[in-house]
Amino acid sequence: MKLCRFLDSQNRVHTGVLSDDDKVLDLAPAEVSSITTLLEAADPLKRLAAIARSPLPRLDLSEVRLLSPVERQEIWAVGVTYLRSKSARMEESDFSASAYDRVYDAERPELFFKALPEKVIGPGDSVGIRGDATWSVPEPELALVLNSRGTLVGFTIGNDMSSRDIEGENLLYLPQAKVYDRSCAIGPCILIGRTEEEARQWAIHLRIRRAGEEVFSGKTSVGQIKRSFDELRQFTCRSQTFPHGVVLLTGTGIVPADDFTLEAGDTVRITIDGIGTLENPVVRV
Ligand code: DO4
Ligand code: MG
């Protein structure tokens, strides 16, 4: 089942369930006012299935505005989990190449803070490229949704927007390359009730359009992530609690060729089989 948040015509935030026929089941009459309360249930899928059996309004997706499904969760990210990410980063910087080489094989993964929930961009809103960057790319990533107990309760799509020139200049600039206004998009929903085994069968697609033309397309498979989800989950929750849960981006396996950079006005479209599509225009910030 796909959990979402949306705005009604009076700009009130609702929690809903997205169906494959582009309908949204409005959970407001069932008094479900947040996704987080469902994710905190002992069995979120069972709880949601029971709620969804009651008579609830079914709205057309075209009547509502989807928001990011993130409420108060922090956003963290893992890096260099795909061979493609390791090789791209080793090429972008002589200076940092050995660090990327080592972390790919090390027991401890690269983990970094990505965004506060209030800074996350939802479906259709603009993602940003930094005004002082010359080489900007989207990073299409499967995101794990963990509740406050650190249990993996769902999956969503994340875009870990990155400034490759800044990251490549010096590894210590990573927070500036990764964390800035509009650098993280998440959505369109949180898929619950699926296992890691199922998720590893999914493909991730990235398409970038400029002035009506496709200027990049690429594809990878979740199955190529080097580390298990449990390993990523455990390292994220080591010596750290997340009172509202955490959304963890699992790394990118799609890196455009080195002569490609995003431009303002481009559209980034990320699709993950089983979850849906996250599409955002690009602005310079
Ligand atoms: O250290 C660089 C960031 C790596 C990353 O974000 C990724 O592999 O997705
Ligand atoms: Mg990334």
Model confidence band, residue 228 (pLDDT cutoffs 50, 70, 90): very high
DSSP per residue, 173-237: GHHHHH-STT-EEEEEEEE-S--HHHHTT-EEEEEEEETTEEEEEEEEEGGG-SS-HHHHHHHHT
Name the DSSP letter for residue 5.
E
Q: Write out the two tokens for 84.
A: 């493609």
pTM of the model: 0.97
* Rounded-to-integer distance, Cα 58 and Cα 159, Å: 29
Q: Is the pLDDT of residue 9 over 90?
A: no
Q: Is the pLDDT of residue 269 over 90?
A: yes
Ligand 1 center to 163 CA (angstroms)? 11
The structure tokens 């790919």 sit at: 104
Size of the chain, expressed as the number of residues it contains: 285
What would the mean pLDDT of 187-200 be, rounded to a whole number? Answer: 98
Model confidence band, residue 93 (pLDDT cutoffs 50, 70, 90): confident
The amino acid that residue 10 corresponds to is Q
User: What are the pocket residues of ligand 1 if the criterion is a CB atom closer than 6 Å to any ligand atom?
Assistant: 77, 79-80, 85, 89, 110, 139, 160, 167, 174, 251-252
CA-nearest residue, atom 7 of ligand 1:
79
Q: Is the pLDDT of residue 95 over 90?
A: no
Give which of 13, 4, 33, 58 is closest to 192, Cα–Cα: 4
- pLDDT on residue 256: 97
Model confidence band, residue 91 (pLDDT cutoffs 50, 70, 90): confident
